Amino acid sequence: MKKPRLYSGMQPSADSLQIGNYIGALLQWRQLQTSYDAFFSVVDLHALTQPNNPEELREKTRRTAAQYIAAGIEPSQSTLYVQSHVRAHAELAWVLSTITGYGEAGRMTQFKDKSARYGTDSTSVGLFTYPVLMAADILLYQSDVVPVGDDQKQHVELTRDLAERFNKRFGEAFTVPIPVIQKDTARIYDLQNPTSKMSKSAESDAGVLWMLDDPAKSAKKIMRAVTDNEGVVRFDRENKPGVSNLLTIYAALTGRQIATIEDEYAGRGYGDFKKGLAEVVVAEFEPVRGRALELLDDPAELDRILAANAARADAVADATLADVYEKVGLLRRV
C-alpha cells in the first residue's frame, strides 16, 4: 500500500535550532516519517526574505540539515533536502503567483505583521509572495498532510485554495493538502519570559535552550529559569507559566504524563525539579549534539547526502511541474 505524503520544512535562520523546534517539530517529524512518505526541506529560498550574510546562510543551511538528521530524520527513509537544490520550487511558485489574488496575498497575517513592523519600503515583494512559494513546496509533492505550527495554518489554507483553484481552472494537477496543527502541549516558552514562545530570534539568550549548545550551559539556564513563589511543582499555565513550561519540556522529552511528574516532585522544591529536568535535557541533547557536530565535521559527506535526496525530490517535483506547464499552455521544449 502506498503511504500518504507528508511535507514540512524549516528556515535556516540560526546557527542552532532551539528545543522548541525540536519538541514542536522534529520529534513529530521523526515519529511521522515511518507512517508517511515524508519530505522535509531546509527552506533556504524562504530565508532570503530576511537579511542574510551569504556565507552565514550557507553555514546555517548545512547546520539545519545536520540537526534534522541528528534529531532522527532518516535521510534514507525520508527525503531530506535543501529547497534551492530543487529548481521546480521557484518555477511552480511563479505559476501559482499568477492565480493568487493581490488582495488574497495581502490578507496573510504574517505579511501584514512584518510589513507593518518594517514599513513598505523595507518590505520586499519576496516577503509578499512568501506564502506562494510555500504553496509550491507543498503542492509539488502532491502532499496529503502538512504538519506546521499554528502561525503557518493560514499559509496552508492558502495552499489549499490555490490547489483547488488550479484544479478547477486547468484540470486536476494537485492533491489538496490538510494542515496538521501542532498540539498545545508541544509549544515551548522562553525560560525567562514564559508567556512568549521560545524562539531562535529571542532578544535575550538566557531563556533559549539551543540544540547545539554545550548541554552544561543548557543545564545552567534551566537552573535559572523563571518560576514563582508558590514552591509547588504543579501545572497551571495561567498562574504558573514558568513551572508549567518546565513540566511541558520534561513530559515531552521523557514521554511521561505531566501528572506523574507532578507526583514525583510533590513536597520537593523547584531546585530538585530543575535539577531533574536538567538531567533529562542533558541526556537527550548530548547524543543529538554529538551526532550533529560529527555530521558538520564532514561537510562533503553531508552535501552528498543532501544531493542524493535532492535528486529524489527532483523526480517527484519535475513530474508535477511538467504537468502544470502542460495544463497552463506553455510550449514544451523539445
**Amino acid letter at 66?**
A
Q: What share of the chain is helix, strand, coil (3-state, %, to 5)?
A: 60, 10, 35
Q: Which three cell numbers stand for residue 156?
A: 496552508
Instruction: Work out whether 188 is an interface residue with ligand AMP (CB under 6 A).
Output: yes
Kind and range of the H or E run holding 316: helix 299-328
Cα–Cα distance for residue pair 102/99, rounded to 1 Å: 9
Site string for ligand TRP, 45-84 (x = CB under 6 A): -x--------------------------------------
Instruction: Work out whether 149 is an interface residue with ligand AMP (CB under 6 A).
Output: yes
Cα–Cα distance for residue pair 28/40, rounded to 1 Å: 12
Of 134, 182, 180, whose CA–CA distance to 161 is shortest?
134
Site string for ligand TRP, 121-140 (x = CB under 6 A): -------------x--xx--
Residue list 12-51, contact with ligand AMP (CB under 6 A):
20-21, 23-25
Partner interacting with residue 192 (select from ligand TRP, ligand AMP, none; CB below 5-8 Å by kind) = none
DSSP state of 55: H
Q: Which residue has cell 509533492?
A: 141
Site string for ligand TRP, 141-180 (x = CB under 6 A): -----x-x---x----------------------------
Instruction: Work out whether 182 is an interface residue with ligand AMP (CB under 6 A).
Output: yes
Q: How many residues does the chain have?
A: 334
Catalytic, out of 153, 197, 275, 327: 197
Alpha-carbon separation of residue 298 from 62, 259, 320 (angstroms):
11, 43, 34
Kind and range of the H or E run holding 20: helix 19-21
CB 102 within 8 A of CB 111: no
Q: Which is nearer to ligand AMP, 18 or 129 (CB)?
A: 18
Residue range at the interface with ligand TRP (CB under 6 A); choices 5-13, 16-24, 162-170, 272-280:
5-13
Instruction: Work out whether 43 is an interface residue with ligand TRP (CB under 6 A).
Output: yes
Q: Which residues form the interface with ligand TRP (CB under 6 A)? A: 7-11, 43, 46, 134, 137-138, 146, 148, 152
Q: Which residues form the interface with ligand AMP (CB under 6 A)? A: 10-11, 20-21, 23-25, 148-149, 182, 186-188, 197-200
Q: Return the active site residues.
A: 114, 197, 200
